[in-house]
Structure 1
Amino acid sequence: MQRIEFIIKRLGLAIFVLLAVSIMTFFIARVVPSNPAAAWVGPRPTQEQIDQATIELGLDKPLYVQYQRYMSSLLRGDLGTSVTTRQPILSDIQVFLPATLELVLASILMAVVLGVPLGVLSGANKGKVLDHLTRFFSIAGVSMPAFWLGLILQLLFFSWLGLLPLGGRISTEVSINSPITTLTGFNLIDSLLTGNWVAFGDTLRHIILPAFVLATYPIGLTIRMLRSSMIEVLSEKYILAAEISGVPRRTILFKLALKNAITPALNALGLSFVFSLTGAILVEIIFSWPGLGTYVTNAVLSVDFPVIVSVTLIVTVFYVLINLIIDITQAVLDPRVVLQ
């Protein structure tokens, strides 16, 4: 019963956050000095064309009326029309969002594969050489600027070694000779499901560098969180009893201790997922990745209000959902969370 009440409270809080963000982003976008009606008409508009566009877009109405219309359309699944592309925003997002999600999920996978074992080993070898090296790597990952790391990796792996492409999501030659049949919008999954191994290999080569740059912060954060938790858990009596009983060290670390130390790391990974959605903007620009970051950057440069508000709301939805999933997971793993 307590868990149900806990989930209901979290759902109510999630709805409140979404509503608050939609209000703030909508009104902030409207007070920015610009003229979206002029952008809608096109280059060199006449005053008559601007006035007509202002009426068509409803910009002549009070802000609260504009917001009411926006929310009414939003509840019907209509995000509006982009001033720049003249396409429904939902259609644009269906094109750009899968590319960003593919990049973010690849970075989170790297964070799990690298961050979890390194965090466990660092906590198990406190004060030793491995611990110092891992801590240095984690601090560097958290504090290193993404744009600097991205440029260095491009210089190393593209210019000097010639092992990986400079940017993009897939090579032009491969997209022409071995086009990917779109099923999910994720190039790696689609090429794998259709057996297009040429496109799969090329897509994998393109995603390695941007995904690693995006993963450096989650990797460093996961290592630091898991290291602290492991040090605390490894001092528990049941761990000492398992060591005395002759339980293999690997079993103690990756089964007994990790089970109780993983919760803070899961929380960090969940928050890192949302952080990566916003951090992907800079990474996508550096690596010419055609994702949501590129889309919203162009919208900001062209003062495309509907796109800016819609993308902000979508990122907020992901943030709220991830936090809700984390809260429910923690409540399942640790019943004490429900009582807080």
Structure 2
Amino acid sequence: MAGGLAALLDDIAVLAKLAAASVDDVAAASGRAGVKAAGLVIDDTAVTPRYVHGFTPDRELPIVWKIALGSLRNKMLFILPAVLLLNLFLPWALTPILMVGGLYLAFEGAEKVYEVFGGHQAEKKTEPAAASGPDTEKTMVAGAIRTDFILSAEIMVISLNEVTDESFWTQAITLILVGIAITAGVYGAVGLLVKVDDIGLKMIEGGQGAREAFGRFLVSAMPKVFTVLSTVGIAAMLWVGGHILLAGVDDLGWHAPYELVHHLEEGAHDVAGIGGFLGWFVNTLCSAVIGLVVGAVVVLVMHFIPRKNAH
């Protein structure tokens, strides 16, 4: 894989492989893998603050904490035992599972592209959560934890996929440390994001001059930050999902698509001066196009065909 977010899958795999040397190496490499793998869930980092929208400021961090605990429970109690057992008894199933996750990412990315260009975003507007009743917080947390599950499973399977030849306990330790690092990194960032505007308001209320100006900057900047995160998240889902599918079909025996992309990438690498960037760009673009095309087919099946049959 060339680099950028599309290279995260190989980065995690390489780090996990190196981590198998010792427990200390597992800890160090898993920490780095967790930070890099946060890019794979950048869309969740953008989406999760929406789950606390409408709640009073004193409930925002407790809600993020509940979601983080749910995410960690997903990884440690459900995903980790499942992937370890799969590796013991059905190792051939890991690649198809990765591809199912890749298909889901491609679908999610393509659906959001459809919402943007199809003008359907307004349909998803809801009333403020604080006005929806006492059970809303529980519902929001449960929805966020469900959203987290797929990407958590992807990361855990990716990490395991490169330490399958190591001992059972090395595999388990690697997955535990990767899972903890990812959860802490992602939801730590989410907690900061949802409080930045409150920090800005405090600076405006209690300061003047440069302090007040910086507070106003923080408050005005956050909507733009979330817009950028959402856009990058869509792109990330498409090219990461597309690359998972591309690598998966290659592992399953259909080599032509992967070889074509690799050939185009190698050709771009030969351009003097900017070959490295061009190689990354070609790999990323091809993966994103594959993700968009495959995801669009799923969107078509999920949305338009059922609607047509209903008439």
Q: Could you say which TM-score interval applies, normalised by the shorter chain? A: under 0.3
Task: Give the TM-score normalised by the residue count of structure 1.
Answer: 0.25
**Which has the greater radius of gyration?**
1
The answer to which structure, 1 or 2, has the higher relative contact order (CA under 8 A, 6+ apart) is 2
Task: Give the TM-score normalised by the residue count of structure 2.
Answer: 0.26
More helix by share: 2
